[in-house]
Amino acid sequence: DGGITQSPKYLFRKEGQNVTLSCEQNLNHDAMYWYRQDPGQGLRLIYYSQIVNDFQKGDIAEGYSVSREKKESFPLTVTSAQKNPTAFYLCASIPLRDTAYEQYFGPGTRLTVT
């Protein structure tokens, strides 16, 4: 079955450590997105990529980095520069051939930094 996978579901790290969240899709979608969600809040866009080897900052990119070396993969690194990294992270993708821009979401990763 096609879909988006994010691993792991729960991730724990010590303060000061970088951590990379995985996002893989086998839907052959062109664009991929990373969102952050805090309790009781909506989703805030961190980074997005519409093509391999290219990506753009979203609204809250500071303290995060991404890469897009393969169409299927869009890993997010939460660096030690991110002041408050504990949050729920969602990855999404869009087939750009679909002009509706309907997003398909992964199950998310809950990151806890102590």
Partner 1 sequence: AQTVTQSQPEMSVQEAETVTLSCTYDTSESDYYLFWYKQPPSRQMILVIRQEAYKQQNATENRFSVNFQKAAKSFSLKISDSQLGDAAMYFCPSYSTLTFGKGTMLLVSP
List residues near partner 1 by CB under 8 A.
33, 35, 37, 40-45, 48, 59, 88, 90, 92, 99-103, 105, 107-108
Q: How far is the CB of 3 from partner 1 (least distance, A)?
A: 11
Residue entry with tokens 């997010």: 76
Q: How far is the CB of 80 from partner 1 (least distance, A)?
A: 26
Q: How far is the CB of 103 from partner 1 (least distance, A)?
A: 7
With a CB cutoff of 8 Å and minimum separation 6, the contacts of 9 are 107, 108, 109, 110
C-alpha 59: how far from chain center: 13
The helix (H) or strand (E) run that includes residue 87 is: strand 87-94
Give the nearer residue to partner 1 in terms of CB position, either 16 or 101: 101
Give the nearer residue to partner 1 in terms of CB position, either 37 or 73: 37
C-alpha 72: how far from chain center: 13
